[in-house]
Structure 1
Amino acid sequence: MIEKVIKMSAFISAEQAIARLGVTRATLYAYVSRGMIRSQARPGSRRRAYLAADVERLVQRKRGRQDPSKVAAEALGVHGMPVLRSGLSLIDAGELHYRGRPALTLAREATFEEVAALLWDAPFPADAAPAPTRAAQRKRWAKLPFVAAAQACLAHASADDVGAYHRSPATVRRVGAGILRALAGVATGQAPSRMAISQTLVEGWGVRGRGARAKLEAALVLSADHELNASAFTARCVASTGATPYMAVIAGLAALSGHKHGGHTERVAELVDEAGEPRELLAARLRRGELIPGFGHPLYPDGDPRGAALLELCEGRGAARARAVAEAVEELLGIRPNLDFGLVALGRALGLPRGAPLMLFAVGRCAGWIGHCLEQYEDDQLIRPRARYVGPAPGEVEEAGLR
């Protein structure tokens, strides 16, 4: 298992923690002794540093006590107070970490299956059988959009896998590995196999070129998880009801397909493929009041490192257009590519099918969904938030016209 390491950039000094919390040094030490704030020694110093995420969590909790209604109203937004515990991924100081390991490092050094094992906190079940499909089914699903085809495949597999109702971690991991292999099969139109996921994609899509498989591996790894995003939250809600991992992933795919999530890659593809000089096209879009898809991310004010990493992997004639668009956007607007743009650019560089960016996103993110299922099954609590009612008060509505 890959060792857990938290980078020092995720930590702040005692003075910074005290100022942020508005407490005394003694109170800070009390938080540490109670396990509320984690700390570690600074290299070459007798002083300690304090995990910034823990400090911020306490700040948000203090604000919540002062104004609970405001915190509740903002909790489901991207900048809201964390609402669920998770040990899978952390975004801190502009970097993404999986269980304390930098995602960019993992994208260079680890396989997708190794990262899935890290997120699942156990070895990847290499002997798990992929969800079986018949040739007639694959032919029929080939006429459907990818998400619909993947959902149909998993619905059939779920009906044949009664063992999936057993929610032991080993069973969930076994089912998860089969789902990943099934999704790779749907993406390529091939019968699922026990090959490595990246190899299935390389062979199924007929990808050629230097380092092509390693680049697909990086795309899968960088897509694997991203805190409590819309599709992960959806998958957790479904898992919290006791539904099987198949149903959780089907729901996650539904959320991912929306144009504000993974479906955004289609808008990015339209931008990259639009004919004309990039600066002129961008200017026309801006004059029409249109947003520029594939750039900027609220959690990465200095630029999404995933998008930058994928763009660096793009070589050759196929990547020239995407690079030109990225350069024009940064020059005109000062914003940088995000994961959606990186996936599209890599797809163009490798000559992948048009829908491949969303497929890579879905297959990669599925590893995170299974990780969230494992956490939610262990938590064993139904996710059931309350709504803040804003309708008419009881007794204010005339009943005469109601039937």
Structure 2
Amino acid sequence: MFFPLSVNLYVMSEELRPGLEGVLVAESELSYIDGEAGKLVYRGYAIEDLAREASYEEVLYLLWHGELPTTAQLERFSDEMATQRSLAPGTMDVVRELADQREEPMAALRTITSSLSAADEDADETAVTDLEANLRKGKRITAKMPTALAAFKRLRDGDGPVDPDPEMDHAENFLYMLNGEVPDAVLSETFDMALVLHADHGLNASTFSAMVTASTLADIHAAVTSAIGTLSGSLHGGANANVMRMLKEVDDSAMNPVDWVDDALDRGERVAGFGHRVYDVKDPRAKILGGKSEELGEAAGDTRWYEMSVAIEEYMAEQKGIPPNVDFYSATTYYQMGIPIDLYTPIFAISRVGGWIAHVLEQYEDNRLIRPRARYVGELDRSYPPLAER
């Protein structure tokens, strides 16, 4: 049967799914999540194996190229990333200005990331879907975001920025730039593992935001900036910071953690770090980070944060049947590493940028403008009154 080109060839479903919950909008080869079994897979590899064996650079290569790198490929990829860490003078001026204004860290990271395009030699690519150009831009964005965040934190605190060290890997270099001293192997390994665990997680809100932006054929800088803006919302990012603030409040109160949580629940408050839109069981990433939190506490001779967390987890499981998510144990892990609480969500961003870029590359590869529709529930057939009669 012949249809004129003007005929709309799709049928709109009348089923309303607020928040698009459970709606399939794309096919992806990047992340597989089994919420009932508590399983997370990147391109076929279990997150437990990647967290234990792979570096963040290896995971980036896997997400962007589809396969784990050989030794030579990883060395070349890591070297290319390391050479892109420095910020252009104009970008550093933006960082200084935002630090002087005491901008909120996520807002600062959003603005700085957007400004990176000004000094990107591929930013004027007319073909925004050019894979090689986008891979180059992706490396620059991923390499520079940690430098910008560390410099922002130090300038805000009255310290000078620390230049990146190309001899260090991605995780070690960030901690070095953040604190001004070379981190020990345990801290570097722990932070690298945290980056791996947060690198991707399907079509979460920020990833979907990046995909929507990319589907308009906006460039990769715009897509990542859009994702950062989405992550800044309290219903997506910020949970691990709220967990740590909660634990500090429990500690300051000198109350038994279970009693404190019980009182909070009686007041109708939500306990941070519990529940997940996808997982029905304990988040597999929480299991891994819980172990690292315990190790850090034991190494420091102070396990109270871990013990407090376990007590709350067990109580919530018994009373509410709600398991913890990744934010619950990333909070104490970061805190014991000496990372300021208001940097937790930006740190999430400097990890998840790898997944955002991977999904954007996938979107460009087989692009279709993402354009859902809303069911109109307003009035119809209203008469237009002249201005003088209103």
Normalised by the length of structure 1, the TM-score is 0.76
Is the 8 Å Cα contact of residues 236 and 372 (structure 1) preserved in structure 2?
yes
Q: Match for residue 106 of structure 1?
A: 50
1: CA distance, partners of 2:177 / 2:350? 14
Q: Match for residue 222 of structure 2?
A: 247
| SS of aligned partner of 1:352 | coil
Which residue among 168, 185, 198 is the counterpart of 2:171? 198
Which residue among 318, 324, 327 is the counterpart of 2:310? 327
Which residue among 252, 261, 284 is the counterpart of 1:282? 261
Q: Match for residue 369 of structure 1?
A: 356
| SS of aligned partner of 2:193 | helix
Q: Match for residue 219 of structure 1?
A: 194
Q: CA deviation at 1:253?
A: 0.4
Q: Name stretches of at least 5 consecutive residues in structure 2 with no aligned partner.
A: 1-10, 67-72, 152-160
Q: Match for residue 147 of structure 2?
A: 185
Q: CA deviation at 1:144?
A: 2.2
Matched, 1:380 2:370: no
Aligned residues: 333
Is the 8 Å Cα contact of residues 40 and 46 (structure 2) preserved in structure 1?
yes
2: CA distance, partners of 1:391 / 1:192? 55
Higher relative contact order (CA 8 A, sep 6+): 2
Q: Match for residue 89 of structure 1?
A: 31
Matched, 1:391 2:378: yes
Q: CA deviation at 1:269?
A: 2.0
Is the 8 Å Cα contact of residues 256 and 262 (structure 1) preserved in structure 2?
yes
| SS of aligned partner of 1:163 | coil
Matched, 1:138 2:117: no
Q: Name stretches of at least 5 consecutive residues in structure 1 with no aligned partner.
A: 1-64
The two structures, once aligned, show a CA RMSD in angstroms of: 2.4
Is the 8 Å Cα contact of residues 105 and 343 (structure 2) preserved in structure 1?
no
Equivalent residues in 2 for 1:109-124, closer than 5 Å: 109-121=53-65, 124=77
Q: CA deviation at 1:171?
A: 1.3
Is the 8 Å Cα contact of residues 125 and 174 (structure 1) preserved in structure 2?
no
Is the 8 Å Cα contact of residues 188 and 204 (structure 1) preserved in structure 2?
yes
Amino acid at match of 1:324: E
Q: CA deviation at 1:318?
A: 8.1
Equivalent residues in 2 for 1:252-271, closer than 5 Å: 252-271=227-246
Q: Match for residue 400 of structure 1?
A: 385
1: CA distance, partners of 2:238 / 2:366? 30
Q: CA deviation at 1:131?
A: 6.3
Q: Match for residue 27 of structure 1?
A: none
Cα pair distance change 1:321/1:120, threshold 3 Å: same
Q: Match for residue 336 of structure 1?
A: 323
Equivalent residues in 2 for 1:148-163, closer than 5 Å: 148-161=107-120, 163=122
Deviations 1:138-191 (A, max 9, x none): 322333222222222222221232523343212111111111111111221144
2: CA distance, partners of 1:358 / 1:366? 12
Is the 8 Å Cα contact of residues 182 and 192 (structure 1) preserved in structure 2?
no
Amino acid at match of 1:120: W
Q: Match for residue 289 of structure 2?
A: 310
Matched, 1:294 2:273: yes
2: CA distance, partners of 1:102 / 1:319? 31
Q: CA deviation at 1:125?
A: 6.7
Q: CA deviation at 1:245?
A: 1.0
Is the 8 Å Cα contact of residues 96 and 103 (structure 1) preserved in structure 2?
yes
Is the 8 Å Cα contact of residues 99 and 119 (structure 1) preserved in structure 2?
yes
Q: CA deviation at 1:356?
A: 3.3
Amino acid at match of 2:30: L
Q: CA deviation at 1:282?
A: 0.8
Equivalent residues in 2 for 1:45-60, closer than 5 Å: none
Cα pair distance change 1:131/1:390, threshold 3 Å: farther
